[in-house]
Amino acid sequence: MHWTHVTLPLGDLEGSLRFFTEVCGLAIVRDRRLEGGTTVWLGPPPLPGHEPAFVLVAQRGVVREPLDHFGFQCATREEVTAIAARAEADGTLVEGPIDAGGSVGYLAVVREPSGHLVEFTHGQPIRGLGA
């Protein structure tokens, strides 16, 4: 058994899709609206012939309570800084960029168009957490 997806209601579906693709680097891996459905599946851009390990299933809906946050690891501190600068210009920066040190690293928190928080970090790897 393995975890495959999280479904997230989005009040501003198109704005949130732009945010997750343009800012977070996710790709639309299946647009069920083209099949008569109502969801859009987002994930890391898969390698040719491979499937994404995990997807975010986006659907238009009422955001009753934003989740605490999503986390995205950036390749460099400069990438975090650039995302924070863009968010500050857009009025969506919530925190940072700051260096929280230790295993937390350098981070910025941004509010996406439907109200959910997204954390961008550098130096907060998940590699090595397994038993």
Higher pLDDT: 87 or 54? It is 87
Per-residue burial over 113-126, b if 16 or more Cβ lie within 10 Å, else e, is bbebbbbbbbbbee
pLDDT value of position 32: 92
Burial of 10 (0-12, 13-18, 19+ CB in 10 A): buried
82-90: list long-range contacts, CB under 8 Å, 24+ apart.
Answer: 83/23, 83/108, 83/110, 83/120, 84/108, 84/110, 84/120, 86/23, 87/111
pLDDT digits (tens, 9 = 90+) for 77-105: 999 999 999 999 999 999 999 998 877 88
Write out the two tokens for 18: 């732009």
Considering only 28-37, 79-88, 96-105, 108-117, which range has the smallest mean pLDDT? Answer: 96-105
pTM above 0.85, yes or no: no
With 90 as the cut, is the pLDDT of residue 25 above it?
A: yes
Domains of the chain with bracketed CATH:
1-64 (3.10.180.10), 66-131 (3.10.180.10)
